[in-house]
Structure 1
């Protein structure tokens, strides 16, 4: 037998000793879990799956969305101030409807198309005073008509579309930023530059920029991952919203070819042709009503002087409109912004080509060619919202040069406020 050490030796307990008496262990009473009743709002969110969608978002996504919502609030504050401080008329006692500042310019075209169609009561471009509404692609008006079934106000329906689409777009942009600039891990810096850009107000109103980006940016993300079917399907949806979708399709085609030449499979070759189908279908529809396959292009020429001119003619005409006193100061200022945006775009294309970012360079260059060969420049500042390499590049520059962020915000924020104020008070803002 093994002898125990002295410190562990002890006699076995005697019967009846305390060591052998049963000990009554007291356990806490078992309590049934209390079932908490959900509020009607919580039940509604759970029924729609909203709670699961929020749980799906990463902390970085939530930070970006908080920034997005804060900038939306700032636009609404500005719209409220515009109603009261800058009414139309010097002796106004009523600030007008709450949503009135948002229903300006092209928003009225989308409303008319969604409500009445393209050619109501056999009207069309053969009539005097026609509004050239066929210049606008059908994606946004169709969605506006659908949302209006639930939201009675046309303006509110357009704002809701842009609010949801803008959230999807800024999330996709933040994720794109991480693939280009690893230092911008959560993409919040890129989102900040984008959401405070000079023409950011157009993301918050019933215009097409937010909806287009909600398709285009996820399409580019999918193309980067060589998911060609998804990328081209999303690009096809983007082409229903804006003709810029064709520029995106060309960039994705270049990316596909470069990928295939580098050793990837050519099996997805038919997919880049898919985005051409919606514009072809729209051209067929217009031809059936007008006999003109390019009716949308001719409507742009009639309404916005978008007939072809050489690039140097377009620059000269825009310069004269900006600085020769042929227009009022408000329009002249906008033409000055057009010239500045063209220079930014040309510098961006040159930088992308230098970095051998050929697909992105093709995308921006095609946009510049389309906008820079009209009689004069129109809507180039607004088109900068669609150039995601610009905002990612500016964020990357601010990471290398910390002082640049301060400079950018000090310049972009007041310009953004001025452009927003111009639009919300009914002045031309591109």
Structure 2
């Protein structure tokens, strides 16, 4: 009978503090643990790219095709078209807008990713390749930050690698590789949270401000930062840095002003969400009921119904995570999770909840901590949950709805 070794503690030396902020602390260079994380990242990216290459041959648009689809065609799905249109043509090309018949409601998407895409496109001529490059680089930054947060929280040398493994093999991991916002958001949000853990509130605020330009979820992160500041800062001098925590509100306000100047509507973003994705307010029980009906009452095509089943499962997962965080008194992370669940759970029905699990970094850390106590958790995850990620990847890469 084998006995697992006890967790190996990590000694974290406190940084010298002056005026409520660390002094002389630099960004740590990649060490052996970081290189192991990047190795896992490279392996999973390779697996996803092989999958994308294979679906071009295995799932042609017509049974009569003798040639596969173009190399990058599998990555040109769904929301990518919105980001591409914004980056290439702007938000209101040729005076078109919500007043135009057939409008695509592109103002529902924040400008951070399209602006980054346009900038990278000046160097990388192919738009799709530029989007994939953004997500590739951003994903690497995100997993390094996630691993360091996990090691700091769990105090175990293996915690970072385990957390990243759970994260990269998660059911919706394909969206980290696609030209979507998840990787870029996490590349800003996770270093922001790491900076907050180290007491560098100015860096945390600046990074969160940038994250707010990518996804509205950045505002939930900003709220968690404020609560974390209130709960942890005891030095009176440190409160001089509190105004920095107002900075993240700047980008959403500027975006609302931009849309108002062109549409006359300060709530243009919200109204675009309502028109395009039924994100008008409904009570949580109504949202659950509508999603349940779509998932199980045969009101939708089978391919859509199974994804609504996934939406329900992801919502339950989020609620369980919230309970765990509250019981463990991880209140800032609980606030972030609660705000995310409220935003996703009060529409007509659930949309993109499985994708949002990628943004719940406490979930992946909690799973890693559980697996350190119960080694079979990791084995079960690899053999049961990871294959679901292949199913979702093939679903997305073949142009079917995958949340």
Please give the TM-score of this superposition, normalised by the length of structure 2: 0.92
What is the deviation of 1:359?
A: 0.2
- Partner in structure 1 of residue 223 of structure 2: 250
| 1:219 lines up with 2:201 in the alignment | no
Name the CA distance, whole Å, in 2 between partners of 1:64 and 1:183.
Answer: 14
Residue 231 of structure 1 pairs with residue 204 of structure 2: yes
1:271-310 per-residue CA deviation (whole Å, 9 max, x = no partner) reads: 1110000000000000000000010110010000000000
Q: Does 1:168 align with 2:141?
A: yes
Q: Residues 80-99 of structure 1: matches in 2 within 5 Å?
A: 80-99=53-72
1:260 deviates by 3.0
In 2: Cα distance, 1:90 partner to 1:186 partner = 47
The alignment status of 1:268 with 2:238, answered yes or no, reads no
Find the counterpart in structure 1 of residue 232 from structure 2.
259
After TM superposition, give the deviation of residue 86 of structure 1 in Å. Answer: 1.1
Q: Distance in 2 between matches of 1:346 and 1:261?
A: 31
1:291 aligns with 2:261: no
- What is the distance in 2 between the residues matched to 1:68 and 1:169? 10
What is the alpha-carbon distance in structure 2 between the residues aligned to residue 316 and residue 155 of structure 1? Answer: 38
Instruction: Give the Cα separation in 2 of the matches to 1:404 and 1:255.
Output: 30
Q: Paired residue for 2:120, among 137, 140, 147?
A: 147
Per the TM alignment, residue 96 of structure 1 is displaced from its structure 2 partner at its CA by 1.3
Q: What residue is the counterpart of 1:338 in the other structure?
A: 311
Rounded Cα–Cα distance in structure 1 between residues aligned with 2:393 and 2:266: 36
Q: Which residue of 2 aligns with 1:6?
A: none
Matched, 1:68 2:71: no
Distance 1:128 1:389, change over 3 A: same
Q: 1:251 to 1:264 in 2, by over 3 A?
A: farther
Work out the CA distance in 1 between the residues paired with 2:134 and 2:94.
28
In structure 2, what is the Cα distance between the partners aligned to 1:233 and 1:213? Answer: 14
Distance 2:44 2:380 in 1: 19
Equivalences for residues 115-130 of structure 1 within 5 A? 115-130=88-103
Deviation at 1:259, TM superposition (A): 1.8
Q: Distance in 2 between matches of 1:355 and 1:255?
A: 15
- Indicate whether 1:399 and 2:350 are aligned: no
Alignment of 1:43-58 (within 5 A): 56-58=29-31
CA distance in 1, matches of 2:164, 2:199: 24
Equivalent residue number for residue 135 of structure 1: 108
Offset of 1:180 from its aligned partner?
A: 1.2
- Cα displacement string for residues 331-358 of structure 1 (whole angstroms, at most 9, x for unaligned residues): 0010000000000000001110011111
Alignment of 1:311-326 (within 5 A): 311-326=284-299
**2:273 counterpart (288, 294, 300):** 300
Query: Where in structure 2 are there 5+ consecutive unaligned residues?
Result: 1-27
The CA distance in 2 between the partners of 1:268 and 1:299, in whole Å, is: 36
The answer to whether the Cα contact below 8 Å between 1:177 and 1:184 also exists between their aligned partners in 2 is: no
Work out whether 1:420 is the aligned partner of 2:393: yes
1:357 & 1:199 partners in 2: Cα distance?
Answer: 25
Whole-angstrom CA distance in 1 between matches of 2:77 and 2:123? 22
- CA RMSD in angstroms comes to 1.2
**Which has the greater radius of gyration?**
1
Q: Distance in 1 between matches of 2:148 and 2:41?
A: 14
1:161-216 residue CA offsets vs partner (Å, 9 max, x unmatched): 00000000000000001011112446111110000000000000100000000000
SS of the residue aligned with 2:185? helix
Tell me how far apart the structure 1 counterparts of residues 123 and 322 of structure 2 sit (CA, whole Å): 43
Given candidates 57, 74, 78, the residue that maps to 1:105 is 78
The change in CA–CA distance for 1:109 and 1:208 in structure 2 (over 3 A counts) is same
Give the Å deviation of 1:262.
Answer: 7.8
Task: Give the distance between the partners of 1:421 and 1:402, measured in 2 at CA.
Answer: 29
Partner residue, 2:253: 280
Look up the SS of the partner of 2:186 in the other structure.
helix
Q: Following the alignment from structure 1 to structure 2, what is the Cα–Cα distance between the partners of residues 317 and 95? A: 39
Q: Give distance in 1, aligned partners of 2:272 and 2:68.
A: 35
Whether the aligned pair in 2 keeps the contact of 1:61 and 1:186 (CA below 8 Å) is no
TM value normalised by structure 1: 0.86
Higher relative contact order (CA 8 A, sep 6+): 2
Structure 1 residue ranges, 4+ long, deviating more than 4 angstroms after superposition:
261-264
Aligned 8 A contact 2:159 2:368 in 1? no
